[in-house]
Chains A and B, each alone.
Chain A
Amino acid sequence: MTHDPRQPPHDDSPPDPASEQTLGRATAALRDAGAAQGISVPDDLRRSTLHALWVADAAAHEASSRRRSKAMRRVLRIAAVVAIVCCGVVIAMLARRARDSIHVHDARIPAVRGRAMAPPVTTAPALTAVGPGSGIIGGKVIAVGSPPERELIDLSAVAECREQHPDGLYSESLVVGDAGGLANVVVSLFWSDGVVMDRPPPRSPAVLDQKGCRYSPHVLAVMVGQPIVVKNSDTFLHNVHSLAIDNPAFNFGQPSIDPGRKVDPMKTPERFKIKCDVHPWMVAHVNVFEHPYFAVTGPDGAFALPGPLPDGNYTLTAWHETLGELRTEVQVNGGKANPVEFRFDLDG
């Protein structure tokens, strides 16, 4: 077998001594060849190389500066957009706060049907003093005048509701008790004189039930962040449709008995309605507060805000869905607070 001299030998085959020697001589010759040009770099070559390096480096720096400048302009543009957006958000928040303030101010004067009576009476000898020494603010909400007859809801078209109310179902928009107590009034602290009112929300959920074709309670007061559960105690379909604007809205059906479905906690103070799209008379009013000092009156019109509260001056509000809002000043002194009476005029 002949070996092609143009092809390298196999890795395992020993190199031919003659060719190895030739390679060694050639390598030595080439190694020495560089010396023929001298061992030092010619001055003009050294200078021109340094100049070329300087020019290339300067060009690179200039390009880098241009890139940095472009990036900086981009960052400034983004910062300007962010600043404009932030300004817009702040302005919108201020406008909203101002609007809310105007709403509250308007409600103080008989805003709803002009029937609230002002100024409110702040003392009532007939009342039992609430929590003397405890600093708890309490009292009663009274409807003054002749209460109108409660509206009877027409259930003729809805058999399952009619069967649950053989004596008829009456509207809860104005419920006056035997002694004139006004139910479903939300009483709350509106302003405190230097007392920090923020407290963590309660862990126990506020429950809204659908029972007998109505919401129970008719007026619900919750704290921002408080869990909320919606139940259905009826064996048929109800629809829970929140009309909240500033808070997470929800709209879902509960086709039958449901022990409780959680909805997202509220995020900001707001007053809004919840309605049932299936049974149009079903309405609940939800009041959201940032503090825990609120209460909803029962059939006797009595209320007691959770406490105790430190000594100080407080502004108290009472809101009713048809009669509007009243306010009064309350002083807690030495741990005592005189009972408060709100009087809504039904004949005004």
Chain B
Amino acid sequence: MMVDWDGIIDREGPAVWRTVCRLLTNRADAEECFQETFLAALELWKRERVRDEHAALRRLATARAIDRLRQRYREASRTSPAGAPPADPAPAPPDRAAADELAEHLRTALAELPDQQADVFCLHCLDGLSYREVADAIGVSVDHVGVLLHRARAKLRVALADRGPVAREVTR
């Protein structure tokens, strides 16, 4: 069966692009992750009948972006004492600097979460998928999605509280 990838990229490409861009600050990484997501989708479409292409692509994009995020943090921790991944050289506007730093802290914390917890948090809290959609996308029950999300949020709260003063400052 031929799959209309042109149409799928038209429909789902922007959402996938947003997902990878919000998790990966490096543009080259985001582009590579975008392509990897659709190549993985090609294999998935061959293997099984995909009922919800929107949720499936978000899940593939999130999982690959989290992987790439972890890889970048590992590389950065080896080369730089600060442990921050290389970001695009484009400077952020001054009024977004604090929010960007807070987002960066959350990225760092997400990279330290277990796979399923990170996936569930991103799919529900960032991409806006319902519990049911998340459960179908990662192949667990709705109740288990709730448990995974609860644990993820608990760990992220601790991680953010333990992070730098910027987060506290913005919070204040």
Contact = CB atoms under 8 A, between A and B. Distances in A.
Interface string B153-172: 11111101110000110110
Nearest to A48: B35
A15 B22 CA distance: 26
**In which size bucket is the chain A interface?**
35 or more
Contacts of B84: none
Interface stretch (A20-28, A256-264, A271-279, A337-345): A20-28
B14 A8 contact: no
B126 A53 contact: no
Contacts of A203: none
Interface stretch (B5-13, B70-78, B137-145): B5-13
B130 to A, nearest CB: 16
A33 B38 CA distance: 22
A35 B170 CA distance: 20
Contacts of B38: 49, 52-53
Interface residues of B, number: 46
Given A33-B21, A57-B42, A8 B155 contact: yes
Given A6-B162, A25-B102, A53-B42, A30 B34 contact: no
B92 to A, nearest CB: 8
A31 B34 contact: no
Interface centre among A30, A49, A50 (most CB of B within 10 A): A30
B158 to A, nearest CB: 5
* Interface SS, B side: helix
Contacts of B153: 15, 23
Contacts of B21: 33-34, 36-37
A41 B30 CA distance: 11
Given A8-B157, A56-B39, A29 B102 contact: yes
Interface centre among A8, A23, A53, A60 (most CB of B within 10 A): A23
Contacts of B13: 41, 46, 49
B103 interface: yes
A45 interface: yes
A146 interface: no
Given A33-B21, A41-B14, A53-B39, A26 B155 contact: no
Contacts of A15: 153-154, 157
Nearest to A36: B21
A26 B106 contact: yes
A26 B158 contact: no
B14 A26 contact: no
Contact of B9 (A9, A25, A36, A50): A50
A7 interface: yes
Nearest to A35: B18
Nearest to A9: B154
Contact of A5 (B5, B19, B161): B161
A52 B106 contact: no
Nearest to A15: B157
Interface string A75-96: 0000000000000000000000
A19 B99 contact: no
Contacts of A34: 17-19, 21-22
A56 B25 CA distance: 27
B23 to A, nearest CB: 8
14 contacts: A9-B158, A15-B153, A22-B171, A23-B156, A25-B167, A26-B167, A29-B102, A30-B103, A34-B18, A39-B18, A41-B13, A41-B14, A42-B31, A53-B39
Given A27-B106, A30-B103, 15 more contacts: A5-B158, A8-B151, A18-B171, A22-B102, A26-B102, A30-B23, A32-B22, A33-B22, A49-B9, A49-B35, A50-B5, A50-B9, A52-B35, A52-B38, A53-B39
The 8 A-B residue pairs with the shortest CB-CB distance in the complex, in nearest-first order: A34-B22, A8-B154, A37-B21, A34-B18, A26-B106, A29-B103, A29-B99, A19-B157
